[in-house]
Structure 1
């Protein structure tokens, strides 16, 4: 129950972020209908900018439209406060792991270890920890299968090949790993996994880039699992503490 409850933090943040995007797009859409572009509702001076806006033909904003946008900003600001509160809960949870390690000199938990890897921020570390790496796995195949990144074999007579990933596992973990794979190529370009991806894509002339990133996500997840369970640092990876 405690492990399941920890997932609420990252999942709630994802819901709040989606709602924030909807409100921002709605405000921009209302203004675009009046010939106004370039307004950013997420800026701190959003209210002041709204008072200074004029329509595309130079008129002040219509009264009821401005009132509607003001109410949208009220809901948006409430969402921003809730997102900040959720992120503070997440940061406190990860910080508590590090504090408990310093006090007891025990094995470093997965969430705290993941934060030490360059390219993995607090949100990614929390999602990886709460959605997958808190579990016990016997081998790398179980790790890949839980995330839905394991290959699906297909046999018929003398034909035996793979059909791609099964997508039968945790969709949140799978999506996060795909996103992390692209970030890994940017922040860890000299790691063995990044060099493997580059060589594979170049050998195919760039045609297998999408399938290669999925394969990289599977390899990276397995490597991170070994890192948090056995302390095996990914070859060529850079740690933030280095």
Structure 2
């Protein structure tokens, strides 16, 4: 059982999990509320895997209670469908809660025997120390699962020698990523363009990082040149003297284009001017992606003007056309 995206991922509040577009087989997605997936694995030479259940984790639900309900309901369904009988081995449940606290527990007690020896109080204290809200319930659930476990996996003790090292490496990697991200944010906040970029709705530190990194050292004579570099300028399909149609460009800087696209997407939720523009274009029959590309282009036009003139974003500058 696993959560996707992680429970602490920054998510939208009013939309489903959305595939924005696919380029070269790589999906670029806008995250929504996380989902809890329950995958069933069948052991043996004829093993199979299937998604048994999926549930959206809204901000108001308790993820532990949702997971518990999912497991119980799917277990009942397996029994009812005849896919698990009384004489079969007990169902082994593996959960990925997406919290660093689990890594700390595994680093300290990597085997079932070590967890049992640690006891509920020590596991509870470890989880609480690392920020788990329902630490007491989690500790109790872990020990209850251990008491119900009847299968001994060959090589458990050998794995217990490796797991603490892997857990510590992951903990160190997470800390390193946090430190690097914090350092980059500090660098960006000190950049001359930061106070020019961030007043625009939908642009925060991460978008500013991408914009500064991808445009640094480059000069643009016009907004058309910048839009072409960002892949936001439309291209014309033409044969001889006949102009066929205009379409969205597939060229340009992919990272910058994605950042500006997602920034435009974020702005329609909080900025009335951007929302009005979006609703008007949609009312004219434009598709969602087409409208967001057009909005991103319009916002880039305003950004180009503010950077060129050394001014700050003004709500009145983003005019609906």
Distance 1:65 1:145 in 2: 53
Q: Larger Cα Rg: Structure 1 or Structure 2?
A: 2
When the two structures are superposed, what TM-score results if normalisation uses the length of structure 2?
A: 0.51
CA displacement 1:177-200 (0-9 Å, x = unmatched): 111111111221x12x33111111
The answer to whether the aligner puts 1:209 opposite 2:288 as a matched pair is yes
Return 5+ residue gaps in structure 1 as ranges. 1-27, 98-108
1:173 is displaced (CA, Å) by 0.4
Kept in 2, the 8 Å contact 1:110–1:134? The answer is no
Report the structure, 1 or 2, having the larger strand content.
2
CA displacement 1:152-198 (0-9 Å, x = unmatched): 1122255314442222211110111111111111221x12x331111
- What secondary structure sits across from 2:235 in the alignment? strand
Distance 1:56 1:218 in 2: 56
- What secondary structure sits across from 2:279 in the alignment? helix
1:232 is displaced (CA, Å) by 5.8
Aligned counterpart, 1:222: 301
Return 5+ residue gaps in structure 2 as ranges. 1-35, 42-91, 116-138
Aligned counterpart, 1:103: none
Kept in 2, the 8 Å contact 1:110–1:133? The answer is no
Kept in 2, the 8 Å contact 1:133–1:225? The answer is no
Kept in 2, the 8 Å contact 1:154–1:161? The answer is yes
Aligned counterpart, 1:24: none
Aligned counterpart, 2:242: 159
1:54-73 matches, within 5 Å, as 58-59=148-149, 62=153, 63=156, 70-73=164-167
CA displacement 1:208-236 (0-9 Å, x = unmatched): 11211122222222222222222262535
Higher relative contact order (CA 8 A, sep 6+): 1
Aligned counterpart, 1:235: 315
Distance 2:293 2:190 in 1: 33
Identify if the C-alpha distance between structure 1 residues 147 and 171 changes in structure 2 by more than 3 Å, giving closer, same or farther.
same
- What secondary structure sits across from 1:167 in the alignment? coil
Aligned counterpart, 1:41: 98
The answer to whether the aligner puts 1:96 opposite 2:190 as a matched pair is yes
1:123 is displaced (CA, Å) by 1.4
CA displacement 1:59-90 (0-9 Å, x = unmatched): 28853666665444323212212212212221
When the two structures are superposed, what TM-score results if normalisation uses the length of structure 1?
A: 0.65
- What secondary structure sits across from 1:149 in the alignment? coil
Distance 1:155 1:197 in 2: 28
How many equivalent pairs are there? 194
Aligned counterpart, 1:146: 229
1:130-209 matches, within 5 Å, as 130-132=213-215, 135-157=218-240, 159-188=242-271, 190-191=272-273, 193-204=274-285, 208-209=287-288
Kept in 2, the 8 Å contact 1:149–1:166? The answer is yes
